[in-house]
Chains A and B, each alone.
Chain A
Amino acid sequence: MSTIVYDGTLPDGHPLHRLTPEQLDALGREFQAVHDDVYADLNDADAQYIRRMIRIQRSLAAGSRAVLVASRFWPAWVLGTAGLGVAKILENMEIGHNVMHGQWDWMNDPYIHSSTWDWDTASPASAWKHSHNYLHHTYTNIVGKDKDVGYEILRVDDKQPWEPRFLAQPIYNALLALLFEWGVAVHDLDIEAVSEGTKDPEELRQQGREIVQKVLGQVLKDYFAWPAISGVIMTLVEVGVIGLFDPASQEVLPGESRPRRRVLGRRGRGLRSGNVVARLGRRRSFREPFRSTMTANIVANLIRNVWAYAIIFCGHFPEQAWTFTEEEVADETQGGWYLRQLIGSVNIEGGPLFHIMSGNLSFQVEHHLYPDMPSSRYQQIAPRVRAICERYELPYNTGPFLKQVWSVQKKILRLAFPGRVDWPKPGPWREPAVAEEPDAALPAFP
């Protein structure tokens, strides 16, 4: 990416410039108080939540892997693939991402801890923690500093100067959705620094080694070890099937009496008549389960990739989100930092299951205000955050899932072409009036 050209004029009503320094300080204190209140209240129920979530996720993963042993039969393939896809989503989003943010470090459990966790995806934990926890969460939406603005391949903000390569960005965009985990792994290397030659070669070698190790482990597990397990188990099953039921075992060999044939048949005589290996080959007893388990794992990874992409792109790229220049945030205070996180992030509306499947990144605003707060608390504090927004006349960005996905895709298409666009920004948050239910206040029959 080349340098940012921006004329420095501030859009009217930019929240960053409407609040006085005193107001910003007070805002910072109010946001900090929410964090401190939650941290003072963390207790056994919170610990039980993440432990239960991990137990559910691992049981689902193990169960789906077991079902996929029989994946040469299509109902098992569908069931196992769906289960594994969901397990990977839970692991990456509600568990891995949040554990690696240090949200559960307060438990002092060495195995649910940001320093030891590694997740079921191509990107190694250490590189991701640097590029995401540090770079993205510290410099959120500062164009030129936050490398997550377009991930160095897309133009998702009109402050990024247009280049001809962006004409093809609808194609990169689709590829990134499908190959998201690989995109993240490569992104963590900081391709820009690599191509400019500013990256420390020793660090690059070290990270390269880590990525290779991680990728080898993932590929071995999903595309070789589990398919091989399916192949071996299903082959053994077929050996049993041949032995017991194969018509070949019913053939009478010359010189054999009938009663003897029946006994031999039961004892697996079928294995000895004719070439078993050839018959197993004909029945594709290893190849077929291997292939079907491998395709199931490919599809499960794709499901996770597309879902993670969709949720994550809705976090900062919808039209509502503000972006910033380095000059705008030059002397940022704590209050200014909170404000930037608030107006640079966008929530997604949805039900409880949706929130869990998005790793509570549907509370992207709360997550960016408090990256180290247990995700299960975001929903609880959201009303307090909205109340602060209302009092300071600040926006609280949110919207339904499909609307947000469309907003992002529309923007990516538009920004493939040159020019600047003024996306409409939401005004100050107004808490919708709760519909009065007069009957609820009155007792029914006494």
Chain B
Amino acid sequence: MPVESGARPHVPGLQRRLLEAAKALTFPLLPDDYLALINPMWSSRELQGTIVELRPETSRATTVVIRPSFRWPGHRAGQYVRIGVAHGGVRHWRAYTLTSDYPHPDGLISISVRRVDGGRVSSFLNDEARPGMSVSLGEVEGTFCLPESPETPLLMISAGSGVTPIFAMLRELARRGARTDVVHIHCEHRAEDIMFGELLGARLSGYRRIDRISGTEGRLAPAELDALCPDWRERASFLSGPPEMLKDFSGFYEAQSCRDRLALEHFQPFIGDGGAGGLGQGGRIHFRGRDLSAEADGHTPILDAGEAAGAPLSYGCRMGICHTCNCKLVSGRVRDLRTGQVHGEPGQMVRICISAPEGDVELEEGHIVIDGTGPRSKA
């Protein structure tokens, strides 16, 4: 699918068979397109949701409670979902951590969104969204999850809105009755911005919370772990925060030879050597069917390089989630900028927003935009 779209909903068997049969009457549209005239939520083209409640968490963060249009497929604590929001006539997609526990008795889900200055979707969800509005729901994704049986004591470290997956995990631990020994260090620039402060601040059994107000106390340095949580080496660690923090801590854990005790969550493409020792060499990119080629160094995504060379390429999240930018690799190999891993077989689909060329590559787009405007390049 060249345009980022929602997840395929789970449609009950009988309904699916009826819709399939009724296609003969609506071809080339789907019966869903006519059902949506009565109620847009009846369309099974993609999973949608209705906002049922907006709960302010802080002055600039809101929990958005959503009723999915079809049965929610389920998720694990710490996973995220893509949400599509129409604003100014344009549909924008963002990924947000699911903060609700699954299964919810009414089938609801929630995300918790902090307003980013100048952020279109986060501002919309904090300021303009109202109950009754609809959103599109994408696939559930993410591997930043608790192990099936977390027996070891846990150390959770979060900063800012990075607390959302940690919060979901604490909820899941409580449900499992497994919250026996959790130390949670949370960093926040200003005390009043702490999300879920009251819920987490209450005296919960088996939970010790350490707040670090970086505006007055300075940023948390990894070396401070010895003082804050002396037995950190014995604990399975979960870290969710901005890229610099992830880099500092993963480097520290590496140096202390306990990197395997640390799980990381990062939403932005994590451009680094991924432990592979040095960045790639980059190379020349050729898009089949287009009369242009681009050069990219070892840390520039193919998508960025292609756009800079004037190719109107399809894209969505720009962080390797949505697969909108998928291109078929005709020849050459690419480096995954998040892991540093080099891969590539001819015919393989690669996400060009998180891949850099490793030597010369040729790609074929999933869909070429022919806008019929002749020699004019697309702005």
Contacts and interface: CB of A to CB of B under 8 A. Distances in A.
Interface of A: 32, 36, 39, 42-48, 55, 58-59, 62, 65, 101-102, 105-111, 113-116, 118-120, 129-130, 133-134, 136-138, 214, 217-218, 220-221, 225-226, 229, 332-334, 337, 370-372
A44 B88 contact: yes
Contacts of B374: 137-138, 334, 337
Given A36-B379, A39-B379, A55-B37, A107 B89 contact: yes
Nearest to B43: A111
Contact of A129 (B4, B87, B92, B370): B370
B28 interface: yes
A111 B90 contact: no
- Give the top 8 A-B pairs by smallest Cβ distance, nearest first: A47-B89, A137-B372, A110-B5, A118-B28, A110-B3, A217-B27, A371-B372, A108-B91
A109 B371 CA distance: 17
Contacts of B5: 110-111
A101 B372 contact: yes
Chain A interface helix/strand/loop/mixed: helix
Contact of B34 (A42, A58, A133, A371): A58
B37 A333 contact: no
Interface residues of B, number: 33
Contact of B4 (A101, A108, A225, A229): A108
Interface in B327-379: 367, 369-376, 379
B376 A32 contact: yes
B14 to A, nearest CB: 20
B56 to A, nearest CB: 25
Considering residues A55, A109, A118, which has the most beta carbons from chain B within 10 angstroms of its beta carbon? A109
Given A229-B25, A337-B374, A372-B372, 10 more contacts: A43-B88, A44-B86, A58-B29, A111-B5, A113-B2, A120-B28, A130-B370, A138-B372, A221-B27, A371-B373
B318 interface: no
B24 interface: yes
Contacts of B46: 110
Considering residues B3, B5, B37, which has the most beta carbons from chain A within 10 angstroms of its beta carbon? B3
Contacts of B26: 221
A133 B91 CA distance: 25
Given A43-B88, A221-B25, A372-B372, A108 B37 contact: no
A115 B27 contact: no
A62 B34 contact: yes
A372 B312 CA distance: 13
B94 interface: no
Nearest to A225: B24
Contacts of B212: none
A102 B371 contact: yes
B28 A134 contact: no
A209 to B, nearest CB: 15
B45 interface: yes
Nearest to B5: A110
Contact of B86 (A47, A58, A114, A221): A47
Contact of A119 (B28, B33, B34, B87): B28
Given A101-B372, A120-B28, A225-B24, A109 B3 contact: yes
B91 A58 contact: no
